Amino acid sequence: MTVGDGAHPTAALNDTVHHRYRLGILAILDEATECTFIAMRDQLGLTDGNLSRHIRVLEDAGMVVVRKGYEGRRPCTWLRLTPAGLTALREEIAALEQIVARVKKA
């Protein structure tokens, strides 16, 4: 969603993405090709259950891909950002920056 002429920037905020932890998930995945579930959890300071819930939301929205594999003998879950997720992240950041910019202009 993008902001049209005259519309308030909050109209461009995405309900799915507009959450500090989900934004954090997308931002971290934007920096790397893939990230493990454990590394994501440690960077965001979440519990396994909370992170799982947020990732499920993003996965259902087509923004994150979850891949289960193995590192040696240990099972490992890898997370990857989709093009839709990248677009949503950039639009959300742009909308937030517009909100801040409107106040600075006023």
**Residues in touch with other proteins (CB under 8 A):** 8, 10, 13, 15-16, 18-21, 23-24, 27-28, 30-44, 46-53, 55-57, 68, 71, 74-78, 93, 96-97, 99-100, 102-103
Closest distance of CB 63 from other proteins, Å: 12
Q: Which is nearer to other proteins, 3 or 96 (CB)?
A: 96
Find, among 49, 47, 40, the residue nearest to 81 by Cα.
40
Contact 14, 92 (CB under 8 A): yes
- Exposed, middle or buried: residue 22 (CB in 10 Å: 0-12, 13-18, 19+)? buried
Closest distance of CB 83 from other proteins, Å: 15
How far is 44 from 55, CA to CA, in rounded Å? 12
Contact 30, 92 (CB under 8 A): no
Q: Which is nearer to other proteins, 77 or 82 (CB)?
A: 77
Q: Which is nearer to other proteins, 6 or 103 (CB)?
A: 103
Closest distance of CB 94 from other proteins, Å: 11
* 23 phi, psi to nearest 5 deg: -60, -40
Closest distance of CB 2 from other proteins, Å: 16
What would the two tokens of residue 44 be?
Answer: 């965001």
